Structure 1
Amino acid sequence: MSEPRFETLGAVLKDIQNRNWLHSLYGATRPPWTADTLCVVLERDTYSEEVPEFARRHSLRDVLSVHQAQGIVENARRQLAEPGVDELVQAFNYYFKKDAFIRFTER
């Protein structure tokens, strides 16, 4: 298995529908995040509190599951024909802060 690699949050969100929904996004920074914030998608045992080795080695914390991020992006795409990376990141930050989906009509 190859070593995980860091990606920008914007790139991950644009491609989130192609990610394994059982994995999680890990990052080193705190919100609010930007499209250029570095993160990594890692496999995670949902029944364990154990942090993946790569995350532990780089002092990363679990931000949200891929499944949650997929829901965030799906919600944005239902409201906006072609949401840009900035809208996806805005929706991601909103969900993380409020534990609710953003309503773009009420921005």
Structure 2
Amino acid sequence: MSSIYTLIEILRSTQKFDLDNALYLERKPWSASSQALVLDPDDVEEALDPDSDPKEAKDFGMKYAIMMQDLDDICENLKSQVSSPTDDQIFQAFIYYMENDAFIKLRV
């Protein structure tokens, strides 16, 4: 069984996770304290439906959000603009990417 994290815990430390895994989140609206799981997206019981979420995610009412590699790219892009981003900046960069399919550009 995987550990449940808050979204901000995962955003702060994307490198600690296997980048081939995926982030699963509870339903929107998301907050920094939203519950989250990092799981292998291919660990599904329904072999006929490759888009199905892993059972553990379903058990917690979570859905696929994004691949960890993409999440790491979001955080690295932010760190290239701000050497020590705040939790709010990290969370806003995530939300911006999820809503715009693009990296945030800060005015610094």
TM-score w.r.t. the length of structure 2 is: 0.87
Q: Residue type of the partner of 1:35?
A: A
Q: How many residues align?
A: 103
| Deviation readout 1:44-81 (Å, 9 max, x if unpaired) | 129x2231110122221101110110000000000001
Name 1:27's counterpart in structure 2. Answer: 25
Once superposed, which parts of structure 1, at least 4 consecutive aligned residues long, lie more than 3 Å away?
A: none
1:29 Cα deviation from its structure 2 partner: 2.1
Query: CA RMSD for the aligned pairs?
Result: 1.8
**Structure 1 residue runs without a partner (length 5+):** none
Name 2:67's counterpart in structure 1. Answer: 65
Q: Residue type of the partner of 2:76?
A: E
Q: How does 1:1-107 map to 2 (within 5 A)?
A: 3-31=1-29, 33-45=30-42, 48-105=50-107
1:12 Cα deviation from its structure 2 partner: 0.5
Return the alpha-carbon distance in structure 1 between the equivalents of residues 55 and 99 of structure 2: 27
Q: Residue type of the partner of 1:7?
A: Y
**Structure 2 residue runs without a partner (length 5+):** 44-49
1:94 Cα deviation from its structure 2 partner: 0.2
Q: Residue type of the partner of 1:40?
A: L
TM-score w.r.t. the length of structure 1 is: 0.88
Paired-residue identity, %: 28
